[in-house]
Amino acid sequence: MQKESVVVSGVTGKEAKDWASEHLWGNCSSLYTPFCGLDGDEIDYAALRALVRHCLVELDQDGIWLTGGIAEFWSLTTDELKEVVRVAIEEARRVKPHALVQVMSSTDTAKQAVELTLNAQELGADICYILTPYFECSGKPGVLEYLRYVADRTDMPLGFFNSHSTGLVLTPRNASSSTVRSRRCAA
């Protein structure tokens, strides 16, 4: 069962902030990727479904966060990232249809981030987060261009995720600059 998006296209920055204030709240778990197999490099999708149920039903949390740092997104292929998101969203919508589903759609390239963001959108995620790039990208101007590239090619609420390990922390002022401004981004 796919949930209809609560986001209207063509909103202003203020409207995006208002949407975020209304919808991004509560207790959400950042899910790890349950690995299995002889070498520990296969994904245990049954365990992932059980983890979603545990967080949303047994712990009665408001939502889940998928494919973030604790999920070791950097160790998953594009197909695995898509399948983790598909399985988790499917289970979340089955057990708690209005749960907040947040997805980290960052990867090594801007094109792949667009692909993963569009996939999450199609599967019914509520918002995607873009990590400031963790490889060389010409400092702050390159980071802002990367974020704008993704925002301009998707129709999904986007959040910017800072990590000191990337070497650059994006401030709210940077994120709201005309360089990266998008009608779907809340800085």
Per domain, the residue ranges of the chain are: 28-175
What 71-76 contacts at long range (C-beta under 8 Å, 24+ apart), as own/partner pairs, is 71/30, 71/31, 71/32, 71/33, 71/104, 72/32, 72/33, 73/104, 73/106, 73/107, 75/33, 76/33, 76/43
Q: What is the pLDDT of residue 73?
A: 86
pTM: 0.83
Q: What is the pLDDT of residue 8?
A: 42
Residues of the chain with pLDDT under 50: 1-9, 178-183, 186-187
Whether 120 and 112 have beta carbons less than 8 Å apart is answered as: no
Q: What is the pLDDT of residue 178?
A: 41
Whether 167 and 134 have beta carbons less than 8 Å apart is answered as: yes
Q: What is the pLDDT of residue 133?
A: 74
What 70-76 contacts at long range (C-beta under 8 Å, 24+ apart), as own/partner pairs, is 70/30, 70/31, 70/32, 71/30, 71/31, 71/32, 71/33, 71/104, 72/32, 72/33, 73/104, 73/106, 73/107, 75/33, 76/33, 76/43
Encoding tokens for residue 75? 């160790």
> CATH number of the domain at 28-175, out of 3.20.20.70, 3.40.1010.10, 3.50.50.60, 2.70.160.11?
3.20.20.70
